[in-house]
Structure 1
Amino acid sequence: MQIVVHLPRAGSPEGEPPTRRALLEAVATAVGRLVDTAYADDADPAWGAAIRRYEDGWIRKVVRRARGIHWRRVQDLPGVGVEHDGAGVRALLPGPVGELPDVVRKLQVGGTEAEPDDDGGGPPPPGALAVAVNPAVTMTAGKAAAQAGHAAQLAWHAMPPARRREWAVAGCPVRVVRVTEGEWRAGLDHAAVVVRDGGLTEVTPGTTTALAWW
């Protein structure tokens, strides 16, 4: 799954770059909405087939950055867009890497960094999925966002049907929760979702990178 994030330059007419928290929440929300849309009773059959093929293998996510005309062009591709707390994201319908549209293939994977914020985003939205990222593991914002996206996708499948419907109706909101290393270790025992990364980039295989609960 290709995920494109809008990363304008500071002070540009396009706006300011998003904070790390907002970026992670927007990516996770976009992934949740994409999965929910693909599995809906009235879904486009091509969407349902694409997400099932994707989930039959590794649910790899690649986060790319765009601005200007490149950001505007990806809006025409099949997927789900989210604007959240200053972060713009588009999660694209999964497909074979060898068949990526040129407009996506040319986008940079590196440089997906974002500044942390101190306010934690305020009160969580009603019905939000809580996601925590491993505080002991160093990851770029793009990598961490992919892990939050994994957590949202796995949570959609793990939720009881009534809770899943509630989350979907609310728009699949996500609140990234900052945790200490001690809270992280405790959370491993009670979180509804534990994400273990395949280790293709930045972390070793099997690293626990994100938790989710509701």
Structure 2
Amino acid sequence: MSSDDIPEPLPATASADPFRPEPAARDEAPQFVLPLVVRLEKTDPPARTDALRTAARAVLTMLSDERSLGDGEWARAMRDWEDARIRKVVRRARGAEWRKACALPGITVTGERAEVRVFPPVPLDGWPKELAKLQVSGTELDDPEPPPVPDRTGPVLWLNPALDMSAGKTMAQAGHGAQLAWWELSGAERTAWREAGFPLSVGVPEAGHWRELTVSGLPVVRDAGFTEIAPGSCTVVADHPALRRRP
């Protein structure tokens, strides 16, 4: 299924930090999308949790890349994207399709076995032909073995235990959660996370723990409801140690 998800705008109290633009005109601004492509070979697909972690790290890598900042070559596209909704679309590729995708400007991030390539934002109707023809559907993945217990001493992206989402949609949601955490961190906290290689865990909490997380003050992704789930559904809570310590 489609994974072009749009979280709610930031609250009106958002700061003037360049990573957190004022939300007033988000819906009126031209809309862009951050493309992500997951390598999905028929005979060797990655585990679902590995793909989720890798997609989140790919988003963080794009956000922090020098080409995305200041006068970098991708900075204008990043600003245009962040001034609207932080929309992401996950597509899949294999074989020659993957090789063609890798020839386009972007960044490939690897996990244990997963490979995800993230590209600078493009207009909703302006996808490069090499990416536009890639399939959105079919990103069904599972975990052959039970995924590791999330490391609560580090960043954790907690997934709503009551929702049933495709792997592609969940990858996009994990990316949203990582981005909301990034926006909340100070410059020093961002630098420390980046220099550590963006470690993070993905987990599904018990129902009671999920309820506590959603009212804890941590960043929460709320889906716009265009695909798969109802509008306003809370999909991810971004639980970063630096954010837990704040009053």
TM-score by length of 1: 0.89
Identify the structure with the greater helix proportion. 1
Q: Is the 8 A contact 2:62 2:68 kept in 1?
A: no
1:73-125 superposed Cα distances (whole Å, 9 cap, x missing partner): 11122222111011010111111022211110000000101012544236749
Q: Do residues 193 (structure 1) and 219 (structure 2) align?
A: yes
Q: Which amino acid aligns with 1:50?
A: A
Q: Alpha carbons of 1:128 and 1:78: their partners in 2 closer, same or farther (altered >3 Å)?
A: farther
Q: Is the 8 A contact 1:132 1:177 kept in 2?
A: yes
TM-score by length of 2: 0.78
**RMSD value, Cα:** 2.0
Q: Do residues 205 (structure 1) and 231 (structure 2) align?
A: yes
* Residue of structure 2 equivalent to 1:129: 155
Distance 1:158 1:80 in 2: 24
Q: Alpha carbons of 1:38 and 1:185: their partners in 2 closer, same or farther (altered >3 Å)?
A: farther
Among 153, 163, 169, the alignment partner of 2:195 is: 169
Q: Which amino acid aligns with 2:195?
A: V
Q: Do residues 20 (structure 1) and 48 (structure 2) align?
A: yes
Among 123, 144, 147, the alignment partner of 1:96 is: 123
1:106-161 superposed Cα distances (whole Å, 9 cap, x missing partner): 00000101012544236749x85210111101100000110000011111111122
* Deviating 4+ runs (over 4 angstroms): 38-41, 122-125
How far apart are residue 67 of structure 1 and its match?
0.3
Q: Which amino acid aligns with 1:104?
A: L
Among 73, 77, 94, the alignment partner of 1:46 is: 73
Q: Counterparts in 2 of 1:129-148, with a 5 A limit? A: 129-148=155-174
How far apart are residue 5 of structure 1 and its match?
0.3
SS at match of 1:164: helix
Aligned residues: 207
Q: Counterparts in 2 of 1:64-103, with a 5 A limit? A: 64-103=91-130
Distance 1:71 1:34 in 2: 19
Among 30, 35, 51, the alignment partner of 1:2 is: 35
Query: After the TM superposition, which of the residue ranges 159-168 and 16-25 deviates more from structure 2?
Result: 159-168
Q: Which amino acid aligns with 1:80?
A: I
Q: Is the 8 A contact 2:150 2:203 kept in 1?
A: no
How far apart are residue 191 of structure 1 and its match?
5.2
Q: Which amino acid aligns with 2:62?
A: L
SS at match of 1:190: coil
Structure 1 residue runs of 5 or longer lacking an equivalent are 11-15
Structure 2 residue runs of 5 or longer lacking an equivalent are 1-33, 241-247
Q: Do residues 35 (structure 1) and 63 (structure 2) align?
A: yes
How far apart are residue 173 of structure 1 and its match?
2.3
Q: Is the 8 A contact 1:18 1:86 kept in 2?
A: yes
Distance 1:213 1:163 in 2: 14
How far apart are residue 45 of structure 1 and its match?
2.6
